[in-house]
Structure 1
Amino acid sequence: MQDSIHSDKAPEPVGAYPHAKKVGNLLFLSGVGPRKKGSKDIPGVTLDDGGNIASYNIEEQCHAVFENVKLILESSGSRWENLVDITVFLTNMKKDFPVFNRIYASYFKENQPCRTTVEVNALPTPIAIELKCIATVD
């Protein structure tokens, strides 16, 4: 049995997919970025006239993406401590990984899920980070 979950607190998906799917006691989150609900604004991002990234603050984006993950987990009947696996997509590994890694460590002092971090050429919206998460549901 699969249950699709749409959070009323997290930013709207940018395509035809749910925020998460529950299968048994596992919760699979769709890719989560740092956008704010009800807005196309992205914390820490300045766009040029063409809609391209002119500058960005990876620290602000990290905090925003972690908050969005937390909102989806809570809407799905799970919680931050139930995260078991995280895939991180960064658009600039060399520049952003040290900052991301420091912030990540501050969020995962007790529970430390498995993690994979990869660099990608681009993400679907003008963001520098996206997370793909798996958690358990109590």
Structure 2
Amino acid sequence: MESKAPEPVGAYPYTRRVGNLLFLSGVGPRQRGIKEIPGVKRDEHGNIIDYDIEAQCHAVFANVRYILEEAGSQWNKLVDVTVFLTDMKRDFPTYNRIYAEYFKENQPCRTTVEVNALPTEIAIELKCIAIID
């Protein structure tokens, strides 16, 4: 089965199992085999002029789901989610609304923090822990 998850941007695995827990490394919105980041708008010189946090949220949640399923777990087995945003004031309301749509049934513990920057010019990244059978 070919992976749907994006390639890691460094020398690390996406998952590590310890007992019945599955730890996920930070997951961003990049898509496998595509250089451009979802929702990023650039000027003619390649500089970022804007981004769509909604597009990045949907992409990052899809990536987490791919990684969980490829590792033998499921979305509804998430128990803890740490979310990193680069602009809490601008992006939190949209992210929070979309997060609520994805976590209607299963509501893992959650921490959301603002960070100065994330790798590869992304605006959101998730670090997750799930149960694996």
Q: Report the secondary structure of 1:132's partner residue.
A: strand
Provide the rounded CA distance (Å) in 2 between the counterparts of 1:19 and 1:49.
34
Q: Which runs of 5+ in 2 are unaligned?
A: none
1:86-125 correspondence runs (5 A): 86-125=81-120
Q: Which runs of 5+ in 1 are unaligned?
A: 1-6
| TM-score for the superposition, normalised by structure 2 | 0.95
Which residue does the alignment assign to 1:127? 122
Provide the rounded CA distance (Å) in 2 between the counterparts of 1:117 and 1:137.
24
1:92-128 CA-to-partner distances (Å, cap 9, x unmatched) read 0001000000000000011100000000010011110
Contact 1:52 1:126 in 2 (8 A): no
Rate the CA distance shift 1:102–1:119 in 2: closer, same or farther, 3 A.
Answer: same
1:55-74 correspondence runs (5 A): 55-74=50-69
Q: Report the secondary structure of 2:26's partner residue.
A: coil
Q: Report the secondary structure of 1:135's partner residue.
A: strand
| TM-score for the superposition, normalised by structure 1 | 0.91
Q: How many residues align?
A: 132
Deviation of residue 47 (structure 1)? 2.8
RMSD of equivalent CA atoms: 1.3
Q: Percent identity?
A: 73
